[in-house]
Amino acid sequence: MLIHPQFDPVALALGPVQIHWYGLTYLAAFGLFYGLATRRILQPVYTARGWTPREVEDLLFYGIVGVILGGRLGYVLFYKLAHYLANPMEVFAVWKGGMAFHGGLLGVIAAMAVFAWVRKRGFFEVTDLVATCVPTGLACGRLGNFINGELWGRAADASLPWAMVFPQSGSELARHPSQIYQFLLEGLLLFVLLWLYGRSHGAHHRADGTVVWGRVSGLFLVGYGLFRFIAEYFREPDSFLGLLALNLSMGQWLCVPMMVAGALIWAWAGRRA
Strand-pair partners of 211: 205
- The secondary structure of 115-150 as a DSSP string is HHHHHT--HHHHHHHHHHHSHHHHHHHHHHHHHHT-
Single out the residue of 196, 252, 246 nearest to residue 224, CA to CA: 252
Alpha-carbon span 223 to 82, nearest angstrom: 31
Q: Which of 190, 189, 168, 181 is nearest to 235 (CA)?
A: 181
8 Å CB contact between 237 and 249:
yes
d(CA 159, CA 161): 6
DSSP label of 231: H
Which distant-in-sequence residues (6+ apart) come within 8 Å of 85 by Cβ? Answer: none
Q: CA quadruple 116, 121, 127, 133: dihedral positive or negative?
A: negative
> β-strands 2-3, 164-165: how paired?
parallel
142 is in an annotated binding site: yes
Burial class, 90, CB count within 10 angstroms (exposed 0-12 / middle 13-18 / buried 19+): middle
> Which residues contribute to the annotated binding site?
142
